[in-house]
Structure 1
Amino acid sequence: MPLIKSTYSAPPIFRNAHFSTIYASSLRKVAFSSSQRDRIKLEDGDFLDLDRNFSSERASEKLVILLHGLAGNSRRPYMKAMARIFAEAGWDTAAMNFRGCSEEMNRLYRSYNAGATEDLEAVIKHILAEKRYTEITLVGFSLGGNLMLKYLGENSDIPSEIKSAVAVSTPCDLGASLEELSQTRNIIYSKRFVRKLKKELFRRHLAFPEKITKEEIAGCKSLRDIDELYTSRAHGYKNAADYYQKCSSLQFLPNIQIPTLLINAANDSFLSETCYPVEVAKNSENFYLEIPPYGGHVGFIQNNKTYYHEERALEFIQSFSE
């Protein structure tokens, strides 16, 4: 039942998926900054950093946790813009930096991946220990959206404070989406991701020369190569295929127990057909799906400072707010 007809109307030039994707990721400027950084100590001895902002209503009891995408961090425009619209509505914000994604490299050989829900659990536990918030919501982008959806679907007893969630431009079928990202039409994006990730792997080589060599890293020509060499092995999976199968959130969507919205543009060139789970939404009481005709990858641009997915996320979450 929860299939939502989209009202997004893209400015003519941004009906082109590549224009909207590139502009939103590379040219957009967002004025917003966090006021506090929390370093969360993880059970395995590692850490991650959480960038927080407290609304002008200092005693706010509502918090949104934001999860970034592949090779992202809390300072990406899409993260700052989503934090801004919630802050303006009186919500506190907490933007995750996955392991190794803040200025300081994490301590362990492992870092983050699309299914590392234990790190999201650690953040939620840290926040709940403050006994400040009665209402928490989650917003995830791309890889972070997959991680968030997996968390919601694999847990039958998530904390009662978590009331709703929104995922944006999310590859809920990791393997199939990687095939799409590897197509010629996406070469500008895949090369950029590979370049960034290899740079991080070379840093990891310096810290763990016995685990990965410069020659192995240099030999990676694609995202799948990186997942075969590093992501899967460093995080306990047999290979890339095993990682994609076990971490894809698609299989967990029917189990989601709180109102959750997925916004995936029909022209998002990163996503496979399986990332539009229409039948799951039709048969779910809690999983909502909206497929705007335009928007590319996190590029739902409008003729004002806010983007459509930001307004929709706030609207959806507010509609279930107590």
Structure 2
Amino acid sequence: MNAAQATPYRAPAWLPGGHLQTIWPLARTPRVPPYSRVRWETPDDDFIHADWLPLNDGAPLIVLFHGLEGDSRSHYARALMRSLATIGWNGVVPHFRGCSGRPNRLLRAYHSGDSAEIGWILARVAKRYRHGPVFAAGVSLGGNALLKWLGEQGAAAGKHIAGAAAICPPLDLTVSGMALGQGFNRLYTHRFLRTLKAKALDKIAVHKAALDVDRIRRAHTLYAFDDAFTAPVHGFDGVLDYWQRASSRPWLKHIATPTLLINARNDPFVPPAALPQQGDCSPAITQELPAGGGHVGFLSGNFPGTLDWLPQRLIAYFAGLARPPA
């Protein structure tokens, strides 16, 4: 990696504001990488799909956990995986349940605090991948779940991965959840709910679940949807119990694995009140809070811009961890 690849992020002057910096990068999505799909059976008789880059023996591997209703075709996943393929590194995007284009078998889906799923996936990868160091990165929801797992595991996380990164995680789900129900943010919520509600209603019909379908249909905020579906299905006592127990911020002080935490200060999904305060982060965390970037945007360069900065930053960070000490 050259020095430029690890430089701090600065949003281009021609793309002002958190909303534009969130939305415009969606139009800059690279081509789909050369994935090979593998189906993994889960311990609870369900399944997920994992999309792999072609294996390069001996190279590091990055496991990327996607965000809410994301997948291996999301703009950030394509950008990172194509960058990994270019430098000869390995990459895999495991899909949370129901996000690979196929409904999963069980009523349960996935949620922001599903650290047990993170742990199962990373344990499986570590057991089968002996070619080089393994790193984990999580974006938004996937970043929150990854951070929660890292904090819960403490030093034991090092058995599975050599380092981690979380990009724009909603560290305090109550703050972020409330923010997504207000103002312009309701447009993002509408986009999420379009697929979330359809999947939930299909699951209820298949499993004959005793849930209030009218409440789910009427949900216009993540608060309402999570209270009607996500919380009861995944064992929480309502939405506020879910958001509190699933938030990763209380776990940051317990993280022992080297971890890069990137949050843009103008992220419309993660208001300043959700960001770590003094004393929240352990010494293992390298925190970067650029002024711009939006929510997982981080566009760079002249108009129309590229998605190069974030992949280069992650690769530079992980390359530093993979390099033997001098």
Instruction: Tell me the CA shift for residue 262 of structure 1.
Output: 1.0
Counterpart AA for 1:65: V
Name the % identity: 32
In the other structure, the counterpart of 2:3 is: none
Greater Cα offset, 82-91 or 166-175: 82-91
**Unaligned stretches of 5+ in structure 1?**
none
Greater Cα offset, 65-74 or 269-278: 269-278
Equivalent pairs, count: 314
In the other structure, the counterpart of 1:199 is: 198
- Secondary structure of 1:207's counterpart equals helix
Greater Cα offset, 171-180 or 188-197: 188-197
TM-score by length of 2: 0.90
Instruction: Tell me the CA shift for residue 151 of structure 1.
Output: 0.7
Instruction: Tell me the CA shift for residue 278 of structure 1.
Output: 4.2
Instruction: Return the alpha-carbon distance in structure 2 between the equivalents of residues 275 and 316 of structure 1.
Output: 24
- Secondary structure of 1:176's counterpart equals helix
Whether the aligned pair in 2 keeps the contact of 1:263 and 1:309 (CA below 8 Å) is no
- Secondary structure of 1:14's counterpart equals coil
Please give the residue correspondences for 1:39-54 in structure 2 after superposition, counting only pairs within 5 Å: 39-54=39-54
In the other structure, the counterpart of 1:227 is: 226
Greater than 6 Å deviation, 4+ residue runs:
none
Partner residue of 2:106 out of 86, 108, 122: 108
- Secondary structure of 1:20's counterpart equals helix
Whether the aligned pair in 2 keeps the contact of 1:135 and 1:161 (CA below 8 Å) is no
In the other structure, the counterpart of 1:78 is: 76
Please give the residue correspondences for 1:114-263 in structure 2 after superposition, counting only pairs within 5 Å: 114-156=112-154, 157-263=156-262
Instruction: Tell me the CA shift for residue 310 of structure 1.
Output: 2.0
Counterpart AA for 2:17: N
Counterpart AA for 1:237: F
Whether the aligned pair in 1 keeps the contact of 2:62 and 2:135 (CA below 8 Å) is yes
**Unaligned stretches of 5+ in structure 2?**
1-5
Instruction: Tell me the CA shift for residue 159 of structure 1.
Output: 4.1
Counterpart AA for 1:28: R
Cα RMSD (Å) of the superposition?
A: 1.9
In the other structure, the counterpart of 1:64 is: 62
Whether the aligned pair in 2 keeps the contact of 1:265 and 1:291 (CA below 8 Å) is yes
Whether the aligned pair in 1 keeps the contact of 2:22 and 2:296 (CA below 8 Å) is yes
Whether the aligned pair in 2 keeps the contact of 1:165 and 1:260 (CA below 8 Å) is yes
Partner residue of 1:284 out of 267, 282, 285: 282
1:8 correspondence with 2:6: no
Instruction: Return the alpha-carbon distance in structure 2 between the equivalents of residues 71 and 186 of structure 1.
Output: 16
In the other structure, the counterpart of 1:38 is: 38
Instruction: Tell me the CA shift for residue 314 of structure 1.
Output: 1.3
- Secondary structure of 1:297's counterpart equals coil
TM-score by length of 1: 0.92
Instruction: Return the alpha-carbon distance in structure 2 between the equivalents of residues 317 and 14 of structure 1.
Output: 29
Instruction: Return the alpha-carbon distance in structure 2 between the equivalents of residues 258 and 107 of structure 1.
Output: 33
Instruction: Return the alpha-carbon distance in structure 2 between the equivalents of residues 195 and 81 of structure 1.
Output: 25
Greater Cα offset, 63-72 or 9-18: 9-18
Q: For 1:271-318, what per-residue CA distance to the aligned partner results, in whole angstroms no more than 9, with x for missing partners?
A: 13233214146x632111111111110111012543322221111111
Instruction: Tell me the CA shift for residue 78 of structure 1.
Output: 1.0
Counterpart AA for 1:39: R
Q: For 1:148-191, what per-residue CA distance to the aligned partner results, in whole angstroms no more than 9, with x for missing partners?
A: 10011101312434111111111110011111111113121122
Instruction: Return the alpha-carbon distance in structure 1 between the equivalents of residues 207 and 88 of structure 2.
Output: 44
Instruction: Tell me the CA shift for residue 88 of structure 1.
Output: 2.0
Q: For 1:107-156, what per-residue CA distance to the aligned partner results, in whole angstroms no more than 9, with x for missing partners?
A: 00001001112222222222223242341111111000000100111013
Counterpart AA for 1:311: Q
Whether the aligned pair in 1 keeps the contact of 2:265 and 2:271 (CA below 8 Å) is no
Instruction: Tell me the CA shift for residue 47 of structure 1.
Output: 0.9
Q: For 1:241-277, what per-residue CA distance to the aligned partner results, in whole angstroms no more than 9, with x for missing partners?
A: 1111111000000111111111111111111323321
Whether the aligned pair in 2 keeps the contact of 1:169 and 1:264 (CA below 8 Å) is yes
